[in-house]
Amino acid sequence: MKLPNYVEARKRTKDKVEIEHYSNDIKDLGIGKTYHIKTYGCQMNEHDSENIKAMLEELGFTYNDDYQTSDLVLLNTCSIRENAHNKAFGMLGRLKHLKEENHNLIVGLCGCMAQEEGVINEILTKYKWINFVFGTHNLYRLPYILKEALDKNEREIEVFSREGNIVEGIPVKRDSKYKAYVNIIYGCDKFCTYCIVPFTRGKQRSRLKEDIVREVEELVKDGYKEVTLLGQNVNAYGKDLSLGYGMEELLEEVSKTGIPRIRFVTSHPWDFTDGMIDVIAKYKNIMPAIHLPVQSGSSRILKLMGRRYTKEEYLTLFHKIKERIPNASISTDIIVGFPSETEEDFKETLDLVNECKFDNAFTFIYSPRENTAAARLKDEVTLAEKEERLHELNDLVNIYFKENNDKLVGTTVPVLVEGVSEKKGILFGYTDTNKLINFEGDSSVIGKIIDVKVTSAKTWSLDGEIDER
């Protein structure tokens, strides 16, 4: 048993990160058995689940869409806010009942929550029936951890507190045939005071440019149309490698692979260089859609959050991007109710939204996370106040989503067609600026990038018709 430890998780060492290659000599463990995986949280977790699926299938497991009839159920968890925690624990409650009926059911937990000392203590005392647990740093060891748990018929918990090497070559079973996630940097060293990620995902570690480019070249060969380069803070890419290249150079090289669409998430305003803006403006296959979390419009709160920029600095960057890439859509993340946030601070957030008129915004109520610096701050903002602020903020951001969408009506936009919408029974896809669009058409265009004329706009989506010209 290896358990996580917060003091260790916080440490940032100068230890050199080596590159290892995935290997697995365990086979047949899952023959005749089915698995189901529930994924919570961000794209990084979704992509980890694509690796987990492939590893399980290599062992012989087959996918089952229904967790209630699966032989193995794995929860890939998220720690970012309290409600993500609650969802996973709620699911564990349901699995406990299933396990009472079916003692052979194998239950596993992995992802960010597995890295939390508090969660593991709870599992040790209250969830003794869980078969296996592994963390974010040792995902590639899944076959061995699972074998250990099954062979010994006892619970196996293996969570490393500190990140290890980068492991290349982990198999992957991608959810889409057209869009792919590609990791470029793991971990985060920013330590924003509210954020648990630097603890659960470890120190910043970039993959080598050659490995990333090779993966994208393979995707091009396999007919993929879009890659999303993933990292907690992609702009810090390369800084830990001291090889003289960074995000700017990486974007340029990925662009030259000829993949039709490149996206990247998430950018921290702090490392967003002029060079990056130039590269995005220059290469047509780098999509003009930038996710640039601001978190708050009050410089006082930004300082308490440890964000390293003021409201004015954010606005300068924002306008610089808009000037050099006029069609860019900019989206953001905003937290309301950070400890000590006053009505005046919140008003500054509303003012910033009125100035930036974001194309999209993910808005959250601050949620204290175990062991983070902000969790120690006095928080006298009441939940009712926080909810009211969130409500007011959502009403405002929605106005601008609609306003930005309205501007597209009558124009023709490039759309990567993803499939038939379950709800509407018609085609859907995403524009270059990352807007969802629904339109009638033949299923032969699925997986292609086609021109669609926008006929009307809603708050969260567009409607259109194929432009045959």
If you count DSSP H runs as helices and E runs as strands, how many of each does the chain have, helices first? 13, 21
Q: Choosing among ligand 5AD, ligand SF4, none, which partner's interface includes residue 366 (Cβ < 5 to 8 Å by kind)?
A: ligand 5AD
Q: Give the one entry of ligand 5AD, ligand SF4, none that residue 170 binds, where binding means its C-beta sits below a cut-off of 5 to 8 angstroms depending on kind.
A: none
DSSP 157-217: EE--SS---EEE------S-SSEEEEE-EE------TT--HHHHS-S-EEPPHHHHHHHHH
Report how far apart, in Å, the C-alpha atoms of 131 and of each of 161, 203, 369 are: 20, 29, 26
Examine residue 81 and tell whether it contacts ligand 5AD (CB under 6 A): yes
* Rounded Cα gap, residues 357 and 294, in angstroms: 13
Q: Which does 335 bind (CB under 5 to 8 A by kind): ligand 5AD, ligand SF4, none?
A: ligand 5AD
Q: For residue 112, what are its two tokens?
A: 């960010």
Q: How far apart (Å, rounded) are the C-alpha atoms in residues 273 and 323?
A: 14
Shortest distance (Å) from residue 460 CB to ligand SF4: 24
Q: State how far the Cα of 138 lies from the Cα of 103, in Å rounded to an integer.
A: 27
Strand order in the sheet with 62-63: 62-63, 34-39, 72-77, 106-111, 132-134, 156-158
* Binding-site string for ligand 5AD from residue 351 to residue 390, where x marks contact by CB under 6 A and - marks none: -------------x-xx-x---------------------
d(CA 58, CA 44): 21
Q: Smallest distance from the beta carbon of 198 to ligand SF4, in angstroms?
A: 5
Instruction: Compute the least distance from the CB of residue 399 to ligand 5AD, in Å.
Output: 20
**What separation, in Å, do the N-terminal and C-terminal C-alpha atoms of the chain show?**
63
As a whole number of angstroms, the distance between CA 375 and CA 368 comes to 5
Q: Segment 190-209, which members bind ligand SF4 (CB under 6 A)?
A: 190-192, 195, 197-198
Nearest residue to ligand 5AD, scored by beta-carbon proximity: 333
- Residue of the chain from 61, 132, 194, 346 that contacts ligand 5AD (CB under 6 A): 194
Residue 330: contacted member of ligand SF4, ligand 5AD, none (CB under 5 to 8 Å, by partner type):
none
Q: What does 233 bind: ligand 5AD, ligand SF4, none (CB cut-off 5 to 8 Å by kind)?
A: ligand SF4
Residue 80 interacts with which of ligand 5AD, ligand SF4, none, CB < 5 to 8 Å by class: ligand 5AD
The verdict on 188 binding ligand SF4 (CB under 6 A) reads yes
Residue number, 182 or 195, with CB nearest to ligand 5AD: 195
Question: Distance of alpha carbon 312 from its chain centroid, rounded?
Answer: 27
| Residue 71 CB, nearest approach to ligand SF4 (Å) | 35
Q: Count other C-beta atoms under 10 Å from residue 100's C-beta.
A: 10
Nearest distance from residue 162's CB to ligand 5AD, in Å?
Answer: 21
- List interacting residues with ligand SF4 (CB under 6 A): 188, 190-192, 195, 197-198, 232-233, 268
- List interacting residues with ligand 5AD (CB under 6 A): 80-81, 194-195, 293, 295, 333, 335, 364, 366-367, 369
